[in-house]
Amino acid sequence: MFRRLLWLSSFLLLSACSPKNEVTFSPSRGDQQQYWSYADIAVTGYGQVQTSTMLQRYKVTETSPLTLEISNRYLDIGGAGGHHITSFSSAKGDEKLQRLFSKGFEITLDPDSGNLIDFRGLDAELWQQLRQDGGERLVNMLKKSMLSPGVLQTIPARQGASLQLLTFANQQAKLSVELVTDTQLIASVSASDQHTGAKLYGELVLDRDNGWLQQLLMVVEQPMPEVKPGAKLHMRLAMLPEDHPVDFNFDDFEPMTDWMPLPTQPEDDAELKTATGAELLPYDSGYYAPNPADVTLVLPESSHRAGALSDIRLRNIVAFDEQGNKLPLAFSWQNSEPAYYDQLSSQHHLLPLGWNLSDTDNSAASFSADADYYPTRYFADTRAWQPGAQHFDIQGVTVEIVPDPDDPLLFTIHSDHAANFALQKFFRGLQGELKLPPYPAKAPWLNTGDNAMFSFLSQLPRHDIFELRLTELPTQPVTFYVAQYAEQPSFSKPIKFISPDIYRLDATLPPTSEVWLYGADPQATLPAVGFNQIQAVSDTAQGSSISLPSDWASICELRVVDGSPQQGHALVWQKKPHQGYSRYTPTSDYQLGTDDAIRHYFYGIAVTSELSCQGQPQWQDLPYQADAQAWLIPLTAFGEVDSQQSIASFLSHYQLLNEQGQPLHLIGLDGYLPAAPEQTPLADILTKQRQLRVAGKVSSLRQLKIVGEPLSRQWTQAFPALP
C-alpha cells in the first residue's frame, strides 16, 4: 500500500521563459508557488487503483544546485481496496505515510539536465527508518516515481519552435511551442519509447515574466512488468493554479454523441443580459453548512436566472469563534453549484487546509469571505441563412457551416476561438437536432477521460465541431450566440456567513430557495377549466371520481343528492389525500364512497350528484410594487384580511407569485413551512411588523374573486349489478 500510494507524490517542477525571446528557469531563493495537483492512476487488469488531490507548495531553498521543499497543505489519496488517507483526519492504518506527507519532501535537481540528484523526506527520523525498512530498492522506486523537472533547457519563445528535452517525467521528450502571448508560453510535450512502450503527452503553460509553471496537463503510460506481463500504468495528471481548482473526475465525462433536440433558444435576448455584480450580489450575509470533512457556504443571490449566467468564487476565507475571534483555520474554495431551478443562492464548497483538523473545525461559529464575480457576456449575431457553405466571424469566433452533400437538412458547424470564448449551441430561428463528436484526441493512445481533461482544461485555442440536422431550412434570419467567459472578476464583495439557525430565524435575511405552492414541478399550475368541463369519470364500472381545479374547489360544494345508503352508511364525495410534500395541488380530487370511507365500489344502484358553485372563480391582480425585501409582504397589501383565518384558507383566496408566475409558500416565524396550515391562524406567522414571510421573492399578488351568477349541475351515474 505504501509503495503504491507513493506513486501519487506528483512532485513536478517545470521551467518557464524569460520575458524576451527565450526561456530558462532560474528562480531565486525563497521563490514559491502553490498548485492543486490531481492524479488518477489505472493499471491494466485492475482498473483505477489510485486517485489523489493535493494542494502543494513548491519553495526554492537553494539555487546551486536547485533545491526545493515540497509541502502539502491538503491531501486526499484514495486507493484500491478502500484505502484512504487525508490531511483532514488522523490516519488509522497509515500513520507513517500521513506523517511523511505532512512534513513534506526536498528534491535537488541537476541544473543542466533536470535529473533528480537527491530526494528526501523532511522528517529525517522517519525517512531514515523508511530507508532501513525498504532499502535502496524503495529509495530507487521513489526516485523513479518523481516527475522530475524537464524544462531547464533554453526554450525559444516563438510559436512553432521545438526542442528535444533531455528528460521530462523520466522520458526523453519533444517540446513544441504552440502559442506565445505577452504573458504566457503554452507548449505541448510528447514522448514515445519504442523499446519500452512508455508514452507521454502533455500541455504546459509558463509565465513569461517569472518563469514559473502556471498549469500542466499530462498523461503518462508506462509498462509495469513487475505487476504482471503486459501490464501498463496509465496516469492522468493536472497541476492547476491555487485559485482555479476543478472537479477532477473526467472518467464520468462521456461525450454526448447521440442526436438530441436543439436546446431551447431564448425568447428574447434580454434573457441573456448579464447582471452586474451589484445586481447579482446585493446581500451582505449568507450561512454555512458544516459537513464532516468540508464546509459549504450558501450565498444568496438576487435571482436564479441572473446567477445562471455567472461564475462566483470565494477567497480570503476566515473562520471565527462565537466571540468573533479569528480561528487558526484555513480553507480553500473548491467549486460551486450555481443558483438555478428553485434556488436563490449558490453553494460554495470549501476544503480545510492543514493536518488533523477533524477535532477542531467544528468550533467555527461564522465565516467571512470575499466573493469574486466572473460574468459571462453573450453576443448575438443575426444573419440570413445562406445556401451552400457559410463563413462569418462573431467577436473573434470564426464560424463555418458546411452542408452535407447528400442531405440538404444536415450541416457540420466548425468554430475556432480562444479558450474563454465559445459558440453556443442554441439559436433563434432554427429547429432540429444536434450531435456532438467524441472529444478530440491529442494523441491516438489517449482514452476518453484523457481527451475530456484536455478539452475542458486546455488553454490553447479551441476548434469545436458539431452536427446540426434541421427539420426545415430557415426562411427568416437566424441568430447565433457567442459567450465570453471572464478571466478576471469584475466585482468583489465581502460576505459574512452565519449559523444556519440564526439565518433561518432572521426574517430580514433573503430566502435562499423557493418553495412552490404546488410542489416541485414548475409546470404545476391551475388548469383553466370552465364549469361545464368539470365532469365525473368512472374509475371502473363500479367507481367514480371527479377533479376540481383548486380555485373552483374553494367556491364549490360537491354532494350526493340521491343514492341508496350502503349497509347503513350514506354516500358522500370524499376528498382524496394528497401524496407529496406540498399540501397544495392545482386540483382537488374527490372519490365517491361511503361516509365511513370503507366502500368505493357499488353494484346495482344509481347515484345522483350535484356540483353547486357560488359563481365562477377569477384571479385578479392586486396593486403591488416589489421592494428590496420582496419576501416580506405587509398584510395590508391584501386589503381587509381576517388574520384569524387559517393559512390554508388564506392561500386558497390569495396567491403570492414569483417572477415566473408560480405561487409561493408562506414561512412560519421559525423559518420553516407551517406544519398544520389547515389549523394554524394566519396571525401566528405574522412578523412583528405584521408581514407575511414568503418562501421566495414576490413579483406580483393576486386575489380570487367570484364573478357571475351561482352555477349548479346534477348528474346521475348508474353502477351495473354483478353478473
Residue 198 pairs in a beta bridge with: none
Contact present, 394 and 124 (Cβ < 8 Å): no
Every domain range in the chain assigned CATH 2.30.230? 2-248
Question: What pLDDT is attached to residue 238?
Answer: 92
Give the whole-angstrom CA distance, residue 626 versus residue 225. 70
Residues of the chain with pLDDT under 50: 1-19, 148-150, 307
What pLDDT was estimated at residue 48? 65
Which of 438, 451, 434, 413 lies closest to 255, judged by CA? 438
Predicted pLDDT at 166: 81
Of residues 90, 58, 80, the one with CA closest to residue 3: 80
- 3-state secondary structure string, 435-453? ECCCCCCCCCCCCHHHHHH
Q: Residue 530 contacts by C-beta under 8 Å, 6 or more apart in sequence? A: none
Please give the single-letter amino acid code of residue 551. D
| CA atoms of 118 and 105, how far apart (whole Å) | 11
Backbone angles phi, psi at 317, to 5 degrees: -85, 125
For the record, the C-alpha cell of 246 comes out as 476543478
What is the pLDDT at residue 117?
Answer: 83
Q: Which residues lie below 8 Å from residue 56, measured CB to CB, with a gap of 6+? A: 10, 11, 34, 35, 36, 37, 70, 71, 72, 73, 239
Supply the DSSP string of 206-232, one letter for each residue: EETTT--EEEEEEEEEEE-TTTSTT-E
Q: Is 76 exposed, middle or buried (0-12, 13-18, 19+ CB in 10 A)?
A: middle
Q: Where do the CATH 2.60.40 domains begin and end in the chain?
A: 531-615+713-719
Q: In this structure, what C-alpha cell is assigned to residue 601?
A: 365500489
What letters, b where the CB count within 10 A reaches 16 and e where it falls short, cover 292-323? eebbbbbbbbbebbbbbbbbbbbeebebbeee
CATH T-level topology, domain 531-615+713-719: Immunoglobulin-like (2.60.40)
Are 371 and 495 in contact, with CB atoms under 8 Å apart? Answer: yes
Q: Is residue 513 a contact partner of residue 297, using CB atoms and an 8 Å limit?
A: no
How many angstroms separate the CA atoms of 349 and 341, rounded? 19
Q: For the domain bounded by 2-248, which CATH number is listed?
A: 2.30.230
